[in-house]
């Protein structure tokens, strides 16, 4: 975190945490689906796939804790 009192700004860099999350969960998604997207978010952002196995409660908790 960078705090600049002169310009009254705070810069927070989450690159480390994002990289750790991708490394931890990338086996859950094929590599070709891990690509950058522009905003606003795509229309089907919150649609779930029925053919994908859900994370266990433990893995779900770890994922939520990491991205929250």
Per-residue pLDDT of the chain (68 residues; tens, 9 = 90+): 788 889 988 888 888 888 888 787 766 556 666 667 666 666 777 777 888 888 899 989 988 888 87
pTM (2 d.p.)? 0.35
Own/partner long-range contacts of 61-67 (Cβ < 8 Å, ≥24 apart) = 62/24, 63/21, 63/24, 63/25, 66/17, 66/20, 66/21, 66/24, 67/21
């Amino acid at each position: 975190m960078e705090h600049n009192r002169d310009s009254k700004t705070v810069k927070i860099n989450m690159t480390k945490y994002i990289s750790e999350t991708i490394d931890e969960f990338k086996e859950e998604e094929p590599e070709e689906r891990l690509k950058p997207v522009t905003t606003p978010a795509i229309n089907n952002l919150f649609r779930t796939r029925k053919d994908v196995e859900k994370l266990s409660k433990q893995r779900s908790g770890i994922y939520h804790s990491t991205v929250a």
